[in-house]
Chain A
């Protein structure tokens, strides 16, 4: 408080405030410069690139908005967008519902609960590369346990990642396996924040488990749900690693996602300008969704941010 008056007042203390500012920036400058230098600066550069045509070797030529115009009429991009949206539409609600359900189940003192928690969190630690390679094995039509299980149950065997109609759904299942631990943990933390007296009072009043969940726990979980929706949507829209280590966009382009398409355009075709334009549109879209969800949650008065 006092330092604010020091800055504005023209007292002899201004020398001290200069020293204070230098000390302050001495503390924050290294991390701040690294982070801004690796985010804001390249982000601005990407915008510049998106308005140029450049292959990385020969001099770039100005392209104005032609890269953005071109992406409106690109059938490959259109199918990448639709795959990404389908994936998001399945992955986000599933991870919210399953996460909430598992967290509710894990939030009680029953036997083995420590084992259950560990089992459900462990896949989160595995990298996308390891998860992808493991998934290739588990869902291998010939050698995988997925088909082995179907055989035991006398169900028809499936092609999973090798079928253009099942690959995207299989990727969804794999992503949920790897990332459900995250939603479970944040829901579990939120559930543990609910005052016990509140729940007990309701039970004493004769409320059923279901009513306790619906009327007491669910409203408490609303802010976390907003956050989880935003976070998982961003994750889903940026799906790349798993595609790279499993299907590489195939079969027949069935799992080509937007970020995979950006990677393909930039680093295999060296269309840096066009790839930057696509990346910018995806960024804008993500930002729009994030802001939209936050604005909506503010309006219905369940603040998460």
Chain B
């Protein structure tokens, strides 16, 4: 197995001395060399460890009861069936929950993209009284944790009649301080000249934002979409508190409560898990770059 030697930042490039490696290590080291990078010894078992539970989830969702109830249990099914999925949709309102979560996430994403980029642009480019104070106040709210907010928010939503409606799940996701912060940082990195030119040509402030700046903000908007999608689709605490009517459950809440009723009906529960995870999993595999960008942005820049 020929190894690439372009590994600029690794000292243990294959030092075959024949000009392939840049570094010639001692002869003793050379004898110990594996036919592949030693990092595979760490990464291969780790990768399998991370994938194995997911593999079991998918396999078990297609298993027949005979395989599931055996002791010791089977990992590879002898027979495949869609019974788990069929029962899931018959015995729970999973279809409705999927629809609810889709609505929540779609409204969350659209509202987030619009409101956060609007505010981000305002804080980045427009000059107005109270800008610095407003931005500082907004960003400092990132520190306030959910457990502090859940009781008064519950009471507040109950007063306006939002509790037990889908709206209760949506409203907290209309905008976020993180989103405004992310968009502001992005707009600050754009050159001003283009906007100045458009303004001289008679474009209104909103026109500049909508027609010139927003199309340039696609990478940041993608990051914000991923952030909002992950957060709103996977949220459990808040729907758990705010929604008790089964018809208005989100997928995660439905799944969590369904589990309580069907403790060991594994094919059913795993089918539910697959259905709840699949949309984000597919999105992740299609747009892995943006997911990673979101995670590293929230890591490095906040």
Contacts and interface: CB of A to CB of B under 8 A. Distances in A.
Interface in B144-178: 144-156, 171-172, 174-177
Interface residues of A, number: 113
B137 A36 contact: yes
A31 B175 contact: yes
A9 interface: no
Contacts of B116: 31
A127 interface: yes
A108 interface: yes
B276 A129 contact: yes
Nearest to A217: B9
**Secondary structure of the B side of the interface?**
helix
Interface stretch (A41-49, A69-77, A88-96): A41-49
A133 B273 contact: yes
Interface string A188-202: 111000101001100
Given A35-B141, A115-B47, A134 B299 contact: no
Contacts of B149: 38-39, 42-43, 46
Given A34-B175, A116-B43, A200 B134 contact: no
A120 B122 CA distance: 38
**Chain B: interface size category:** 35 or more
Given A148-B73, A227-B299, A267-B241, A128 B234 contact: yes
A148 B60 CA distance: 15
B216 interface: no
Interface string A135-173: 111101011110110010000000000000000000000
Nearest to B118: A27
Contacts of B174: 34
Nearest to A136: B259
Given A34-B174, A137-B56, A286-B145, A105 B42 contact: yes
A125 B241 CA distance: 23
B208 to A, nearest CB: 11
B225 interface: no
Contacts of A17: 129
B138 A21 contact: no
B145 A188 contact: no
Interface of B: 3-4, 6-12, 22-23, 36-37, 39-40, 42-44, 46-54, 56-57, 60, 68, 71-73, 75, 115-116, 118-119, 121-123, 126-131, 134, 137-138, 141, 143-156, 171-172, 174-177, 179-180, 205, 209, 230, 233-234, 236-237, 240-241, 252-253, 255-256, 259, 264, 266, 269-270, 272-273, 276-277, 280-281, 284-285, 288, 291-292, 295-296, 299-300, 302
29 contacts: A20-B126, A23-B126, A32-B180, A39-B177, A42-B156, A49-B151, A110-B39, A119-B50, A122-B284, A126-B277, A127-B252, A128-B234, A128-B236, A128-B252, A137-B266, A143-B73, A145-B53, A177-B49, A182-B299, A199-B8, A200-B9, A240-B147, A245-B256, A263-B150, A263-B237, A267-B241, A279-B147, A282-B147, A282-B148
